[in-house]
């Protein structure tokens, strides 16, 4: 039997097979590269989540220990405060000694403030959610900060658009968070400085540092509230530590203010971010669940009074 020799007309079939093989190989290569990239992304995401889980566990342990210490301190502290006040009353005819007793009372009050901050940080703080007008919260916050604003002669500018914001939140907790942020801004701005409280755009702050993954600050149901100052800003080496408990660059305070803000934001399924503003100074974005009222009339009436609480001229 004679063997059949392939003809030239059959060669394209071999070329087609080779091209198909090459195409399949190329597709498999691209799929392999895509899978490798996805595995790397998932590995990084898992690492980040593990890091955040470890951070939460450390904070939980720290909070539990701090709460126990705070309760132990508060009991004798109450007695010291009581005896200091009695001593101050009995020394009414001895100004020198009475001044010493008054200083003891002031020291006790400072310690009580520290204990309060520790308990606030350590507490579970499950929010009692209701519909809250942002303007009413700001009215209370800026009324409380007015003495500090006046003493420093700081100008605070409040965005009138906040009048149309209605938050789904625990009013007391959000008030505490805003108080901490605004007091920080006042301290940073210093004498004659400026502070801004304004409504941010949806998704604002994605380029700023956030201490956790819970709440990305960009969801449609989160309202970004921006607090900025014209102070020195946050040093690069401090940025990733500002929300850590007991971390502070000041010569006073407990270093718990921003840690409390972070816990409140997380309890509301929100987010807080930190960074520096383009014109100099610090920028904090507190993003909370909320919506916009159709007219904001009631809020605007409140904000008329809020905007007048300034300690200097713009």
Chain centroid to CA 263: how far? 8
Query: Is residue 313 assigned to a domain?
Result: no
User: Is there a single domain that holds both residue 164 and residue 292?
Assistant: yes
Task: Choose one of 123, 141, 168: the last residue of a domain.
Answer: 123
User: Is there a single domain that holds both residue 18 and residue 86?
Assistant: yes
Q: Determine the straight-line distance between the first and last CA of the chain, rounded to whole angstroms.
A: 107
Task: Choose one of 123, 146, 172: the last residue of a domain.
Answer: 123
User: Is there a single domain that holds both residue 168 and residue 281?
Assistant: yes
Give me the pLDDT at residue 87, please: 87
User: Is there a single domain that holds both residue 264 and residue 168?
Assistant: yes
**Enclosing domain of residue 154:** 130-306
Q: How many domains does the chain have?
A: 2
Task: Choose one of 74, 94, 123: the last residue of a domain.
Answer: 123
Average pLDDT per run of 10 along the chain, which is 314 residues long? 51 74 86 88 80 68 68 79 86 86 84 74 75 91 89 90 90 91 92 92 67 55 91 86 79 77 89 89 92 60 47 48
Query: Is residue 314 assigned to a domain?
Result: no
Query: Is residue 251 assigned to a domain?
Result: yes
Query: Is residue 115 assigned to a domain?
Result: yes
User: Is there a single domain that holds both residue 77 and residue 151?
Assistant: no
Q: In whole angstroms, what is the distance from residue 227 CA to residue 180 CA?
A: 11
- DSSP, residue by residue, 231-264: SS---GGGGGGTTSTT--SSSSS-S-HHHHHHHH
Query: Is residue 291 assigned to a domain?
Result: yes
User: Is there a single domain that holds both residue 86 and residue 188?
Assistant: no
Give me the pLDDT at residue 212, please: 60
Q: In whole angstroms, what is the distance from residue 82 CA to residue 79 CA?
A: 5
User: Is there a single domain that holds both residue 264 and residue 161?
Assistant: yes
User: Is there a single domain that holds both residue 49 and residue 92?
Assistant: yes
Query: Is residue 312 assigned to a domain?
Result: no
Number of alpha carbons in the 13 Å side-chain half-sphere of residue 52: 13
Residue of 226, 220, 217, 200 lying closest to 270 (CA atoms): 217
Give me the pLDDT at residue 241, please: 84
User: Is there a single domain that holds both residue 23 and residue 49?
Assistant: yes
Instruction: Let me know: does 180 contact 260? Beta carbons within 8 Å.
Output: yes
Query: Is residue 189 assigned to a domain?
Result: yes
User: Is there a single domain that holds both residue 151 and residue 203?
Assistant: yes
Give me the pLDDT at residue 123, please: 65
Query: Is residue 67 assigned to a domain?
Result: yes
Residue of 283, 167, 281 lying closest to 272 (CA atoms): 283
- Specify the DSSP class assigned to residue 6: P
User: Is there a single domain that holds both residue 76 and residue 207?
Assistant: no
User: Is there a single domain that holds both residue 38 and residue 169?
Assistant: no
């Amino acid at each position: 039997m004679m063997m059949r020799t392939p003809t030239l007309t059959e060669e394209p079939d071999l070329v087609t097979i080779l091209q198909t093989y090459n195409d399949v190989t190329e597709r498999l290569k691209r799929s392999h590269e895509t899978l490798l990239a996805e595995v790397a992304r998932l590995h990084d995401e898992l690492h980040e989540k593990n890091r955040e889980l470890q951070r939460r566990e450390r904070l939980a342990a720290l909070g539990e220990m701090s709460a126990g210490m705070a309760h132990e301190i508060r009991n004798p502290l109450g007695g010291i405060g009581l005896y200091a006040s009695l001593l101050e009353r009995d020394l009414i005819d001895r100004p020198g000694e009475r001044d010493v007793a008054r200083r003891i009372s002031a020291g006790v009050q400072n310690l009580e403030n520290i204990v309060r901050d520790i308990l606030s940080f350590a507490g579970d703080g499950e929010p009692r959610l209701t519909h809250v007008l942002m303007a009413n919260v700001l009215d209370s916050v800026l009324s409380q900060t007015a003495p500090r604003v006046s003493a420093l002669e700081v100008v605070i500018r409040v965005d009138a658009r906040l009048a149309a914001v209605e938050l789904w939140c625990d009013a007391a907790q959000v008030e505490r968070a805003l108080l901490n942020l605004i007091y920080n801004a006042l301290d940073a701005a210093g004498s004659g400085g400026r502070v801004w409280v304004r409504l941010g755009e949806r998704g604002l702050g994605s380029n700023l540092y956030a201490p956790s993954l819970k709440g990305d600050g960009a969801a449609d149901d989160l309202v970004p509230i921006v607090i900025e100052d014209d102070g020195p800003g946050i040093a690069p080496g401090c940025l990733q530590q500002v929300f850590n408990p007991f971390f502070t660059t000041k010569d006073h305070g407990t270093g718990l203010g921003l840690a409390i803000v972070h816990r409140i934001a997380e309890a509301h399924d929100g987010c807080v971010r930190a960074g520096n503003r383009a014109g100099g100074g610090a920028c904090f974005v507190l993003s909370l669940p909320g919506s916009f009222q159709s007219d904001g009339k009631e809020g605007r009436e409140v904000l008329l009074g809020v905007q007048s609480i300034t300690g200097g001229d713009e």
